[in-house]
Amino acid sequence: MAKPTVDRPWTVGVLFSQTGVTAIIEQSQLNGALLAIDEINEAGGIEGRPIEPVILDPRSDPQRYRELAEELLAGEDINVLFGCYMSSSRKEVLPVVERQNAFLFYPTLYEGFEYSPNVIYGGAAPNQNSLPLASYLMENYGGRFYFVGSDYIYPRESNRVMRNIVRQGGGEVVAEEYVDLQAGPKDFQWILEDIERRAPDVIFSTVVGTGTVNFYRAYHESGGDGRVRPIASLTTNEAEVAAMGAAAAAGHITAAPYFRRLDTEANASFLRRYHARFGETDTVTSCCEAAYFQVHLFANALRLTGTTSADPLRRVLRGAEFEAPQGRVKIDPDNNHTYLQSRIARVDEEGEYVVEREATRPIKPDPYLAVPALNDWANVPIRKE
C-alpha cells in the first residue's frame, strides 16, 4: 500500500457494533479506539497527518462483519481494521484480512488456539485469565463448577479449556448449559432451578452481551447471592454491571487484565480524558482499554514505518510496548498476542470491582496452553489484597 499524500489522512476501518446484543460491550471498545485517535490527532497526528476512522456498524451479526470488512478493504485507502468482539465475528473477518494481507487489531479476550500473522490479539489468552480464575475459585470456594454460556464459539471453547483446568485441579463440572444469544430473563429460569438442585460451589458464566445482564438479574431475583455462591466470569465487566445494577452484581467475580477502579496515575489520567470525551466512565471496560492501547501501538508502529502496509507494520509491532492504563503491555513476537496484567476482582456493594488478587508482572501469552497445568499459576508471583 502506498503512502498517503501530504493532504490525506491515514484512514483505518473500525468495526464495533453500536446495535444488537453485543453493543453494550462494543460501544465501549469503539469509545476506547476513538479516544486514542483523538489523542494522537491532537498531538499532531502521524507525520502531520491525522488518523481518520471509517466507522461501520455490523449490528452484532457475524456475517455482517465479514461483509463490511470486505467493503472497507476493497479500496486503496484502508489496510488496517480495528474491531470484533465475539469470536464468531473474528472468524468471519480473519480470512478477509489474510487474503488481502491487511491487519486486524482484535481487542478482546478469547478462547485461544489461534494464530494469524495478520492479527494482533490484544485481549487475554486462557493462561492469562482462565488459569488464575480457576485457581482462585478452587482455593476459595471449592471444586464443583456449573457452566452457563451463550451458544456460539467462544463460550463452548472457553468452557472446554476451563473444564480441563478444573479437572487437573481435582475439581468437576456438574453441568454445562447454553442459551441463545438473545436469551431473556425467563430463558434462565430452568437453569437456575437446576443450579439450586445441584448445589455447585461456583457458577462459571460465559454468557455475553445483554444475556449477561438478564442472567445476573434472574439469579438475584431467584434468591441467588454472589457473596455466598458467586457467578465467576471472564467477560462480565463494568458496563454490564452498570446495566444490571449493584444489587444484582454484588459479590460476583471477574478475571481480567484491567478494571476501571485501578488506583494508578496512568489509569486516573486515562479516566479523566475518557470522561472529558464521553461525559462518563461507566462504560470503561477491559475491552475498551484494550482497544485504546491497540490504537496507540498501531500509531507508534506507523511513525516508524510511514506506511499501513502489513509487512512493514508486522516487523515493528513484534515486541512493541506501550504504557497502558493497566500497566505496561508488550506484543509477543512469538505469537502476536500481548503480555498483559492478570487480575481477579469482586463487585462490591456499590457496584464497583475491587481487585483481590493480581500478578506482580505482565504474563506472557500462551494461546495454545502449551503449559496448561493448573499449578503453573503457582509459579507466577501474585499480590493478594
Four-CA torsion 258, 260, 263, 267, nearest 10 degrees? 80
3 in a domain, yes or no? no
92 in a domain, yes or no? yes
Q: Is 354 found in the same domain as 300?
A: no
275-299 mean pLDDT: 97
Give the pLDDT confidence of 112-164 residue by residue, as tens digits: 999 999 999 999 999 999 999 999 999 999 999 999 999 999 999 999 999 99
Percent of the chain with pLDDT over 90: 92
Provide the grid cell at 31. Answer: 469509545
Q: Which of 316, 309, 336, 376 is nearest to 4 (CA)?
A: 309
50-57 mean pLDDT: 98
> Domain of 357: which CATH number?
3.40.50.2300
Provide the grid cell at 34. Answer: 476513538
What is the overall mean pLDDT for the chain? 94
Least confident of 63-77, 101-115, 357-371: 357-371
pLDDT score recorded for residue 75? 85
Q: Is 308 found in the same domain as 203?
A: no
Domain span at residue 110 reads 10-125+262-339
Backbone angles phi, psi at 381, to 5 degrees: -60, 130
Query: Using CA atoms, how far apart are residues 81 and 104, in angstroms rounded to an integer?
Result: 5
Residue 375 — very low, low, confident or very high, per pLDDT cuts 50/70/90? very low
Residue 6 — very low, low, confident or very high, per pLDDT cuts 50/70/90? low
Residue that is written with C-alpha cell 508482572 in the block: 361
pLDDT score recorded for residue 371? 65
Residue 2 — very low, low, confident or very high, per pLDDT cuts 50/70/90? very low
Q: What is the DSSP letter of 374?
A: G
Predicted confidence (pLDDT) at residue 378 exceeds the cutoff of 60: no
Sign of CA dihedral 123, 67, 284, 10: positive
Q: Is 203 found in the same domain as 346?
A: yes
Residue 280: is it exposed, middle or buried by C-beta count within 10 angstroms (0-12/13-18/19+)? exposed
2 in a domain, yes or no? no
Please state, in angstroms and as integers, the Cα–Cα distance from residue 266 to each residue in 38, 128, 260, following that order.
Answer: 17, 22, 11
Q: Is 28 found in the same domain as 121?
A: yes
Q: Is 356 found in the same domain as 252?
A: yes
Q: Is 108 found in the same domain as 49?
A: yes
Query: Using CA atoms, how far apart are residues 159 and 111, in angstroms rounded to an integer?
Result: 9
330-359 mean pLDDT: 96
Q: Is 301 found in the same domain as 350?
A: no
4 in a domain, yes or no? no
Q: Is 280 found in the same domain as 323?
A: yes
188 in a domain, yes or no? yes
222-236 mean pLDDT: 96
Q: Is 250 found in the same domain as 236?
A: yes
Residue 61 — very low, low, confident or very high, per pLDDT cuts 50/70/90? very high
Residue 360 — very low, low, confident or very high, per pLDDT cuts 50/70/90? confident
Q: Is 322 found in the same domain as 370?
A: no
pLDDT score recorded for residue 370? 80
Residue 3 — very low, low, confident or very high, per pLDDT cuts 50/70/90? very low
Q: Is 203 found in the same domain as 145?
A: yes
Gap between the terminal Cα atoms of the chain: 50
Predicted confidence (pLDDT) at residue 7 exceeds the cutoff of 90: no
Residue 1 — very low, low, confident or very high, per pLDDT cuts 50/70/90? very low
pLDDT score recorded for residue 293? 98
pLDDT score recorded for residue 49? 97
Give the pLDDT confidence of 78-89 residue by residue, as tens digits: 999 999 999 999
Predicted confidence (pLDDT) at residue 373 exceeds the cutoff of 70: no
pLDDT score recorded for residue 380? 56
Query: Using CA atoms, how far apart are residues 144 and 176, in angstroms rounded to an integer?
Result: 12
Number of domains in the chain: 2
19-31 mean pLDDT: 96
Query: Using CA atoms, how far apart are residues 332 and 250, in angstroms rounded to an integer?
Result: 36
Provide the grid cell at 152. Answer: 456460539
Least confident of 6-15, 160-169, 227-236: 6-15
